[in-house]
Structure 1
Amino acid sequence: MAMAVMAWIVAIPLLGAATGMRTFTPMAVICWFAYTGYLPVDGWASWTAKLATAVVFTVLAVSELVADKMPRIPDRTSPGPLMARILLGGLAGGIVAASLNGSEFEGVILGVGGALVGAFGGYLIRREIVMRSGSKDWPVAVAEDLVTVGFAVLALGIVTG
Structure 2
Amino acid sequence: MRNGTTTTAGIARQRTGAGIVKQPVNGHKTRDIAVIAGVSAIAGSRTTLAPALVFPESKVLTLMAAGETYLDKLPGIGDRIEPAGLISRSISGALTGAIVSRRRHKSMWLGALIGAAAACAGAYVTYYARKKFGKITGTPDPIAGLVEDVAMICLGSILLNDDRI
CA distance in 1, matches of 2:37, 2:107: 14
Q: Confirm or deny that 1:6 pairs with 2:6.
A: no
- Structure with bigger gyration radius: 2
Q: Confirm or deny that 1:24 pairs with 2:48.
A: yes
TM-score (norm 1): 0.80
Aligned residue for 1:71, secondary structure, equals coil
Asked if the contact 1:3–1:159 (Cα under 8 Å) also holds between the matched residues in 2, the reply is no
Residue 64 of structure 1: CA displacement? Answer: 0.4
Partner of 2:7: none
Q: Confirm or deny that 1:107 pairs with 2:114.
A: no
Residue 80 of structure 1: CA displacement? Answer: 1.4
Aligned residue for 2:139, secondary structure, equals coil
CA distance in 1, matches of 2:79, 2:164: 33
Partner of 2:73: 69
4+ residue runs of structure 1 moved beyond 4 angstroms? 1-4, 158-161
CA distance in 2, matches of 1:134, 1:92: 34
Asked if the contact 1:130–1:140 (Cα under 8 Å) also holds between the matched residues in 2, the reply is yes
Q: Please, which of 117, 122, 125 is the counterpart of residue 121 of structure 1?
A: 125
Residue 4 of structure 1: CA displacement? Answer: 5.0
TM-score (norm 2): 0.78
**Uncovered stretches (5+) of structure 2, i.e. residues with no partner:** 1-23
CA distance in 2, matches of 1:57, 1:131: 32
Letter matched to residue 76 of structure 1? R
**Uncovered stretches (5+) of structure 1, i.e. residues with no partner:** 36-53
Pairs within 5 Å for 1:26-41:
26-32=50-56, 35=57
Pairs within 5 Å for 1:136-155:
136-155=140-159
Percent sequence identity is 26
Aligned residue for 2:47, secondary structure, equals coil
